[in-house]
Chains A and B, each alone.
Chain A
């Protein structure tokens, strides 16, 4: 009986030692992973800050004005002007469509155009 007890405790010690060994190495491995991830996060944040700086540099008002001038033919962009503000009542809304008579039930004669179209003349339709 006593021998059994010795054997059991020896086995338990070996098992625990093995477990502790494994845990130790797993912890070290996780720490390495965390460190690598943190380095990566740091590098990405750094890259982000560089990109933010670059974004700000490319969007500086001076350059945008220059680009707007260069592409004036295509874009027709001008500085914001008081004349570009309008009143809602000044917008010429299309007249309501005339009521359609004598349609068989369920027939779709004139599908509703949900996408607006621009007329070639440049006036609102």
Chain B
């Protein structure tokens, strides 16, 4: 590069000769040189900025274009990559604890009409009514010949119906694919499963949404594609549930009860193995929610969870357990039981008069209201409330059913001494059979709180301690006494060491007061009591036993035999081996094999 000299000799000499300062020339040249350098640097920087700006512009345009493209394009499955996904339905299956299907999906079709495409609307209407007798021919003709461009005719079609509609052969009748929820076992576990219906509907597909039960509680889980079609596994056992429903239905008819419910629960994990509420319904054709009348009369009403009843003497177990745990009494403490017991303007009576005093053990065995009330007075209202609260009897059960949070126990607002006394034997506080089952499981399993759940658990769930191990053992002994020589002698099942407590509560009138001849009979059982595994609660609504010619309504004659039969049927299915002395040889019956 040719540099312009800062001090060009010719000009310097010229300036010198004129007597000027030659440094001015040098400064001038230096300035010019700097200006030139600056201009060059500026041009280069501007160029770089332009390139960088261009680069960013292109980059952001790419991002924007890609986003626009992604947003606007139809989603397609990757065609060349191999897919492992086995999702075939938009809703996952529900299975029982052994993987047997409780709810699945079936592909079917929906029928719709486009009247403008129709060739002969009159004939189509006639033919359609032949296939679907529930349709109204006049209405169809009106719809087909009117201004409507589109109408749904049927939401679900069977293949036979679809063929029949095909045979009509009109271009205005069209089919859209539909997924429908199928409950292959019919009414089995209907109240747990709930039901499903269609949400938003289009011609090519329709949303299937849960309307009740676990279908609604786990709606998001069941519809989540990220699960890759993994089924929802419940803690229910299909076989046990079927046997329990059969036994309970038989028992309900035999005892002429209006309704019945049973809960079978694992005492260690709180898993519900069977939950029956009768009368029931078929979730495939779930009836509509009744708009008038008592909701509890509808078959949709889940008595085990939603039905809050005064459960009667079964609550005595809680009172006595607390008194024993607090060291207020022991099993041999004598308590006054002179009947009737007068407290202010109230009178408490026993079923029979049990004499002037009973031991705590006999209070449970004979089910004395007065004895329990006196023990409750020793405990006091505050401690009683705290204990019942710790058993979870003041809040709705945490079970995973849509209906559960709405079924809060009815707890008296004020808690005077008379409430302490009535609650101690199960009156004045209404709870659901599921609450009772969880409470009994807590008392029987060694004293740790059990939370009922409908999901299969892989390991025992140890809750916070409610009563001591020792109290739990004593209570198990008392429950066993009730069955061997107390109010539940019909509850004995050879080999299974059943323990439990009966409860017969007068039904409360909606207008206040109690019915004389309508009761809720409950039997809460724990088996085998030597090493508790399961707790069973059977509750019959308005039962009466007339087998002896005399109308008996107490739980010992109604709920207990049903409970015992259920244990006899269900325990072998649960894999419980009866403890029978092998020496007697009564255990083994030789199979008769026919050739």
Contact = CB atoms under 8 A, between A and B. Distances in A.
Q: Do A and B bind each other?
A: yes
Interface string B40-56: 00000000000000000
Contacts of A42: 88
A90 B594 CA distance: 22
B546 to A, nearest CB: 27
A8 B559 CA distance: 100
Interface in B120-142: none
B589 A83 contact: yes
Interface in B542-595: 568-569, 571-573, 577-578, 580, 582, 585-595
A120 to B, nearest CB: 7
Interface string A68-106: 000000101001111111110111000000000000000
A32 to B, nearest CB: 9
B65 interface: no
B587 A86 contact: yes
Interface string B234-260: 000011001100100000000000000
B459 interface: no
A62 to B, nearest CB: 6
A45 to B, nearest CB: 5
Nearest to B105: A49
Interface in A29-76: 31, 34-35, 38, 42, 45-46, 48-50, 52-53, 55-57, 59-62, 65, 74, 76
Interface residues of A, number: 39
Contact of B242 (A50, A61, A76): A61
Nearest to B81: A34
Q: Which of A55, A80, A81 has the most CB of B within 10 A?
A: A80
A124 interface: yes
A124 B590 contact: yes
A6 B86 CA distance: 56
Given A53-B101, A56-B100, A61-B188, A85 B582 contact: no
B104 A82 contact: no
A84 B88 contact: no
Contacts of B590: 122-124
Given A45-B86, A85-B578, A57 B572 contact: no
Nearest to B100: A56
B182 interface: yes
B242 A62 contact: yes
Given A82-B494, A82-B578, A60 B585 contact: no
Contacts of A45: 86, 88
A81 B572 contact: yes
B496 interface: yes
Given A31-B80, A60-B186, A79 B243 contact: yes
Contact of B572 (A65, A82, A122): A82
A2 interface: no
A60 B591 CA distance: 26
B104 A56 contact: yes
B79 interface: yes
A122 B592 contact: yes
A56 B106 CA distance: 12
Contacts of A34: 79-80
Contacts of B463: none
Given A38-B77, A49-B105, A79-B569, A62 B185 contact: yes
A42 B188 CA distance: 31
A78 B48 CA distance: 91
Given A35-B79, A82-B495, A122-B593, A52 B188 contact: no
A86 B588 contact: yes
Contacts of B13: none
A55 B83 CA distance: 27
B594 A52 contact: no
A124 B571 CA distance: 27
Contacts of A89: 582
Contacts of A120: 595
B460 interface: no
B103 to A, nearest CB: 9
Nearest to A120: B595
A74 B593 CA distance: 10
B186 A62 contact: yes
Interface in A110-125: 118, 120, 122-124
A83 B592 CA distance: 14
Contacts of B101: 52-53, 55-56
B399 interface: no
B30 interface: no
Interface string B482-505: 000000000001111000000000
A16 B569 CA distance: 79
Nearest to B587: A86
A92 B325 CA distance: 50
A118 B594 CA distance: 10
A35 B568 CA distance: 56
Contact of B188 (A60, A83, A86): A60
Nearest to A30: B80
Nearest to A43: B88
A62 B88 contact: no
Contact of B582 (A49, A82, A87): A87
Contacts of B86: 45
Nearest to A89: B582
Given A50-B106, A82-B493, A84-B589, A31 B184 contact: no
Contact of B106 (A53, A79, A82, A86): A53
Given A90-B582, A122-B593, A53 B184 contact: yes
Given A53-B105, A60-B186, A82-B495, 13 more contacts: A31-B80, A35-B79, A38-B83, A49-B88, A52-B101, A53-B184, A59-B100, A60-B184, A83-B587, A85-B577, A89-B582, A118-B593, A122-B592
Top 9 A-B pairs ranked by shortest CB distance?
A: A61-B242, A56-B184, A86-B588, A56-B101, A57-B184, A87-B582, A82-B578, A80-B572, A90-B588
7 contacts: A79-B243, A82-B571, A82-B572, A83-B587, A85-B572, A118-B593, A120-B595
Interface of B: 77, 79-80, 83, 86, 88-89, 100-101, 104-107, 182, 184-186, 188, 238-239, 242-243, 246, 493-496, 568-569, 571-573, 577-578, 580, 582, 585-595
